[in-house]
């Protein structure tokens, strides 16, 4: 066999190998993908019970209730149109408060309650960590302006 034919066969085998590897990776990632829903889209679409999804929205004012075990909380996530009851067992993030944004990883149970495995609290662009609230940043901003010029 000529070297030209050998290179062609090797190139074809390499392309086939890349296609097979890509298909395997896509299949594996599609099973692990966690789709983001708001309460309105969650109620509009028929989401499978037990399928891993992300639910995002605002924590409704006055909705956080602690269970008797001390580690489980129930609360309502809302958007402008709908609400969804969420149950979470564990330590909540420091930024998790009523009226703030939240993203919950979890799944729907057969009763329509979203069982969260993980909570991510969101903050706005004006957030300053508690440890830095007392620091005067005006001198730092003046210094940055003088360094830039």
Domain boundaries, the chain: 36-122
SS3 category, 13: helix
CATH fit for domain 36-122, picks 3.30.1950.10, 2.70.170.10, 2.40.50.140, 3.40.50.800: 2.40.50.140
pLDDT tens digits, one per residue of 93-116: 888 888 888 889 999 999 889 999
Nearest residue to 102 (alpha-carbon basis) of 70, 46, 60, 53: 60
SS3 category, 103: strand
pLDDT greater than 70 at residue 118: yes
pLDDT greater than 80 at residue 9: yes
pLDDT greater than 70 at residue 80: yes
pLDDT at position 31: 58
User: pLDDT tier at 148 (50, 70, 90 boundaries)?
Assistant: very low
């Amino acid at each position: 066999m000529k070297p030209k034919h050998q290179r062609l066969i090797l190139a074809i085998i390499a392309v086939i190998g890349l296609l097979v590897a890509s298909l395997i990776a896509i299949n594996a990632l599609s099973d692990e993908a966690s789709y983001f829903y708001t309460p309105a889209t969650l109620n509009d679409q028929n989401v499978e019970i037990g399928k891993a999804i992300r639910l995002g929205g605002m924590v409704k004012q006055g909705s956080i209730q602690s269970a008797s075990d001390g580690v489980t909380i129930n609360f309502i996530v809302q958007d402008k149109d709908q609400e969804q009851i969420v149950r979470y067992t564990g330590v909540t993030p420091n930024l998790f408060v009523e009226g703030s944004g939240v993203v919950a990883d979890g799944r729907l149970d057969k009763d329509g309650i979203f069982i969260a495995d993980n909570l991510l609290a969101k903050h706005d662009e004006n957030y300053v960590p508690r440890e830095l609230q007392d620091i005067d940043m005006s001198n730092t901003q003046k210094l940055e302006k003088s360094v830039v010029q």
